Structure 1
Amino acid sequence: MSTLPSKTLDSTREFFRRDQVWPFLAPEQATVNVDNQVILYVEGLNLSFDGFKALNNLNLYVNDGELRCLIGANGAGKTTLMDVITGKTQCDSGTVFFGQNHNLLNKDEAEIAQLGIGRKFQKPTVFEEQTVFDNLELSLKTDKRVLPTLFSRLTPTQIDRIDEVLKTIGLAKHRFMLAGALSHGQKQWLEIGMLLVAEPRLLLIDEPVAGMTAQETERTAELLTSLAGERTVIVVEHDMEFVRSIARTVTVLHQGSVLAEGTMNQIQSNKDVIEVYLGEEAAAGEHA
């Protein structure tokens, strides 16, 4: 009689296994139309805060599978743009489409995340009292309602997925370490891993190397470069050396609009960019 509750619980868990969950409980898999090879369309985006024009008729197109860097001085509109894309902030006018078939301005943050758009903020937000493995498990793209979560078990496929991500982010040997014991750089990688286990199509990464050592910065460059192709990666960063190390296409924002776009060499030789952005950086260096 003493083993009955355990057997009953095991049977119930088996019934609600994540790979056998009832169809009406399973999260829908969204399809993204990228027939034109473009995964993100931002057109005519405007947003004002108390008279300040944070976004000013901004237009941006990002191809499926590319690594795009966004640069610009403080207040250029980089973070505000990411806020609008992820549903955190509503714009005044304009359009934002994920592929050709998903209007992001009609969706909330949870719906946008479910579509396959993941965002990493500058400061790592990991569950420090949980292990690295547990952080990744909690981030799996599964039905988060009480009943499926209570009785679900990890499937072999999901365990393999977590193992794959652990290798990708370089934390396989730290899987059972508490996240709070990781270095700053490792926490940044773990948070990227937490996005990856949810299998996003588009990753928005905000200042990933702030506070990192030179070695961690180099490793982060390798990681982000490896992610592009299978998924699209947009990186916002102030560290110009880091941008140079990963840049394929660079978009420069200034006063809420796109000032210039192209390869890093093209950006570095652009007179407007030199005057507005790189010139400011050089001037700061002279007075340092």
Structure 2
Amino acid sequence: MSIVSPFMERDQVWSFMTPPPVLDLDTSHGPILYLEDLNVSFDGFKAINDLTLYIETGELRCIIGPNGAGKTTMMDIITGKTTPDSGQAWFGQKIDLLKLSEPEIAEAGIGRKFQKPTVFEFHTVFENLELAIKSDKRVWPTLFADLSGEQRDHIEEALEIIGLQDLSKQLAGSLSHGQKQWLEIGMLLVQQPHLLLVDEPVAGMTHREMDRTAELLTSLAGKRSVVVVEHDMDFVRSIARKVTVLHQGSVLAEGSMDDVQNDQRVIEVYLGE
């Protein structure tokens, strides 16, 4: 099944929306991401406490919870920035994330977008995507390598998916906050990740930008697995299929938005704030 971008004509579909095969990534018998019995302590503070979480292939999952619930630390573990004290983290059935470095995890097919956009402001939108797509990140090969036809096609497709095709020659620094967020998502897409981790994508956005971001993220689900960490409950309601609530480093509740909204424990520790 091909996915249609909400920013494009309905009859247009994208050839690169399905990421290429990754060596040893096996999701034939279960979820794409396994986090089991994870524990992390910082100076005696238990940031992650027996955390177990599974993300299905092609799923859009929302992660919510109060400040200090462990959301950022969880993403740090998945991307190799933090090593847990105990537990397991698997990408598919064969890739042990705890044995890989941050670059190796990115190469395996996990992309992460931080809350604050990190685009190259003095380069054009197209150049930002070009820098993201090139596999050899050493300075000289990156500066002088020509794009292949396939790479150029991927950039053009990403531009239409994120709705910035008419701004491809504009400096990234002149974009609105929301447009910079979309550009950074595009910079991940051209690298063709299988799992996207998106941290507070609508912070600081206008209502119109939030609506377009919701359309963008929901359009990606199905061909990619997408994990969204967000505090804005209206936004979460607009995209949520399944919601996981973290509290004190572990899963407090999980289910549909209606399920977690009506869970008395969630109301007491988070929604009732």
Q: With structure 2 as the length reference, what TM-score do the two structures score?
A: 0.90
Structure 1 residue aligned with 2:234, among 241, 245, 252?
241
Structure 2 residue aligned with 1:71, among 64, 70, 88?
64
Structure 1 residue aligned with 2:91, among 76, 98, 104?
98
Structure 1 regions of 5+ residues with no counterpart?
1-27, 281-288
Q: Which whole-Å CA distance do the structure 2 matches of 1:118 and 1:99 have between them?
A: 15
Task: Give 1 or 2 for the bigger CA radius of gyration.
Answer: 1
1:272 counterpart letter in structure 2: R
Structure 2 residue aligned with 1:276, among 266, 269, 272?
269
Q: Which whole-Å CA distance do the structure 1 matches of 2:257 and 2:218 have between them?
A: 15
Q: Displaced runs of 4+ in structure 1, greater than 4 A? A: 145-148
Structure 2 regions of 5+ residues with no counterpart?
1-20
Q: Is the 8 A contact 1:209 1:217 kept in 2?
A: yes
Q: Which whole-Å CA distance do the structure 1 matches of 2:218 and 2:176 have between them?
A: 22
Q: Which whole-Å CA distance do the structure 2 matches of 1:92 and 1:133 have between them?
A: 41
Q: Once the 2 structures are TM-superposed, how far is the Cα of residue 152 of structure 1 from its aligned partner? A: 2.4
Q: How far does the alpha carbon of each residue in 1:130-160 deviate from its partner, in whole angstroms, 9 at most, with x for none?
A: 0000000000152334675455211111111
Q: Which whole-Å CA distance do the structure 1 matches of 2:29 and 2:131 have between them?
A: 34
Q: Which whole-Å CA distance do the structure 2 matches of 1:41 and 1:54 have between them?
A: 18
**Does the alignment pair 1:118 with 2:111?**
yes
Q: Is the 8 A contact 1:84 1:90 kept in 2?
A: yes
Q: How far does the alpha carbon of each residue in 1:21-59 deviate from its partner, in whole angstroms, 9 at most, with x for none?
A: xxxxxxx95341001230000000000111111000000
**Does the alignment pair 1:182 with 2:202?**
no
**Does the alignment pair 1:263 with 2:256?**
yes
Q: Is the 8 A contact 1:141 1:199 kept in 2?
A: no
Q: Is the 8 A contact 1:70 1:78 kept in 2?
A: yes
Q: Once the 2 structures are TM-superposed, how far is the Cα of residue 186 of structure 1 from its aligned partner? A: 0.3
Shift in CA distance, 191/53, structure 1 to aligned 2, threshold 3 Å: same
Q: Which whole-Å CA distance do the structure 2 matches of 1:146 and 1:126 have between them?
A: 17
Q: Once the 2 structures are TM-superposed, how far is the Cα of residue 272 of structure 1 from its aligned partner? A: 1.2
Q: With structure 1 as the length reference, what TM-score do the two structures score?
A: 0.85
Higher helix share: 1
Aligned length: 253
Q: Which whole-Å CA distance do the structure 2 matches of 1:196 and 1:247 have between them?
A: 21
Structure 2 residue aligned with 1:207, among 200, 219, 236?
200
